[in-house]
Amino acid sequence: MPFTIAIDGPAASGKGTIARALAQHFGFAHLDTGLLYRAVGAKGGDPVAAARGLAPGDLARDDLRSAAAGQAASRVAAIPEVRAALVDFQRRFAGGEPGAVLDGRDIGTVICPEARLKLYVTASDQIRARRRALELGADEAEMLRELRERDARDAARDVAPMRPAEDALLLDTSEMTIDEAVARAIDAARRAGA
């Protein structure tokens, strides 16, 4: 059975960076599941139709890392029919050999509840806003407001709310360097049998 690592947490916590590093270290495939929702939101029109018709090329758009795409992703992710259309894709990806790392908001709780390792990566609101502002060249106060709005929406949605799985290892990256956070995640994966 492939080794699956589920990484959840809020935006700009470091989960994507950690997920990519873990995938590279262990030779696993990586899926940033947020890109699926960003692509659906960025396509516009009927979100359910966009989710059902999502193609690999849609994940290569240049605008998927923008703040607007992130907000659109959070809105369409609250639609049950959109989520249902993307669940099978994510589960098939997770089942690939020799293993997979998926990062998102509901990987350990909904998509891959049987993952061998579940991490919930977080950081303080202020740290996350600073990181996102530096990444996007945006205003830190505006980023803080947007992150808090998005966190509230993602945690309060009826379908697959953002929360740590009961058996997830909490990794707070607020005071860690990237290398420290990655090292802790690699150590946790090794202890889980990767």
Annotate the chain with three-state secondary structure: CCEEEEEECCCCCCHHHHHHHHHHHHCCEEEEHHHHHHHHHHHCCCHHHHHHCCCHHHHHCHHHHCHHHHHHHHHHCCCHHHHHHHHHHHHHHHCCCCEEEEEECCHHHHHCCCCCEEEEEECCHHHHHHHHHHHHCCCHHHHHHHHHHHHHHHHHCCCCCCCCCCCCEEEECCCCCHHHHHHHHHHHHHHCCC
Among residues of the chain, what percentage have pLDDT more than 90? Answer: 69
Is residue 113 part of an annotated ligand binding site? Answer: no
Is residue 16 part of an annotated ligand binding site? Answer: yes
Model confidence at 173: pLDDT above 80: yes
- For the chain, domains (ranges, CATH) are 3-191 (3.40.50.300)
Is residue 94 part of an annotated ligand binding site? Answer: no
Q: What is the pTM of this model?
A: 0.86
Is residue 164 part of an annotated ligand binding site? Answer: no
Is residue 13 part of an annotated ligand binding site? Answer: yes
pLDDT digits (tens, 9 = 90+) for 105-117: 899 999 999 999 9
Is residue 15 part of an annotated ligand binding site? Answer: yes
